[in-house]
Amino acid sequence: MRRSMLFMPGNNSGMLLNADALGADSVILDLEDAVSPQEKDSARILVRNALKYLGYKGCEVIIRINSIDTDFWKKDLDEILPMKPDMIMPPKVCSGMDIKVIENYMGEVERKHNIEKKTSLIPLIETALGVENAFEIASSSKRIKAIFLGGEDLTADLRCKRTKQGDEIFYSRGRMVMAARAAGIDVYDTPFTDVEDEEGLRTDAEFAKSLGFTGKACISPRHVQAVNEVFSPTLEEIEYAKEVMDIIQVAKEQGKGAISLRGKMIDAPIVERARQTLEAAKALGGAF
């Protein structure tokens, strides 16, 4: 289960070395914003070697490549895909056509290196056009397992101020969740960028969860634990979900179409939420 995704700069060997020891479910090794143009080549090689030699046990590895409007993205894929990362994150995706361009080149690289398993995609949507095309993007390829909202670039594109409260991205958050769920994939919220404000982080993460996000990205290791906690089912939620599944079984055995639990009728949506809670708990094992 992917709750937290931690960004790590691709040009920092020390941070790459310890990336899998920080508690995040996924680490995003960044070749884009964290790396200056003159360091792109060296960062690409550093990340390639990290994938080749470090293993990254216990967490998923995602590589954020450069956007397709640069001269770097194909070189990124040439170096990285043969190392078989779990996912590729293309930034500034604006349309399904962008995904087709990336997917076609990924296919070329995979065929060249006889890679049978296709690497998955998690598009980073961070423009007004991308948000408006969120469902088109989410459903444009079988490689896409999730979409991810980038709030900083989005608010720059919207020409508005980025705030802790996040009112300016409320519509975009809702649109992203709706698009992802309609496409049957996961959806991830933008990072909370104030490293010192842990209370604000938790509030922001809880709000994202209430909207339907699967998890949240982090820019600091200090944020990982709180995000993991917020996006994990609580013991109370797990116990209630077990009660729901038990009472539904009783209803079936008694031939009843409806039954109550704690004074509330148990209907199909409640049963589905209970099933999702128990699946999440099972996926996490004893981690929560």
Annotation: binding site: 64, 126, 153
Three-state DSSP class for 210? helix
Q: Which residues are annotated as part of the binding site for substrate?
A: 64, 126
- Residue 132, burial from CB neighbour count under 10 angstroms (0-12, 13-18, 19+): middle
Which of 90, 148, 158 has its CA nearest to residue 127? 158
Contact 31, 63 (CB under 8 A): yes
Contact 103, 143 (CB under 8 A): yes
**268-284 and 235-254 helices cross at what angle (nearest 10)?**
130
Each as own residue / partner, the long-range contacts of residues 266-271 (CB below 8 Å, 24 or more positions apart, any chain) are: 270/244, 271/244, 271/245
Spatial separation of the C-alpha atoms in residues 234 and 104, rounded to whole Å = 42
Q: Which residues are annotated as part of the binding site for Mg(2+)?
A: 126, 153
Which of 204, 148, 202 has its CA nearest to residue 176? 148
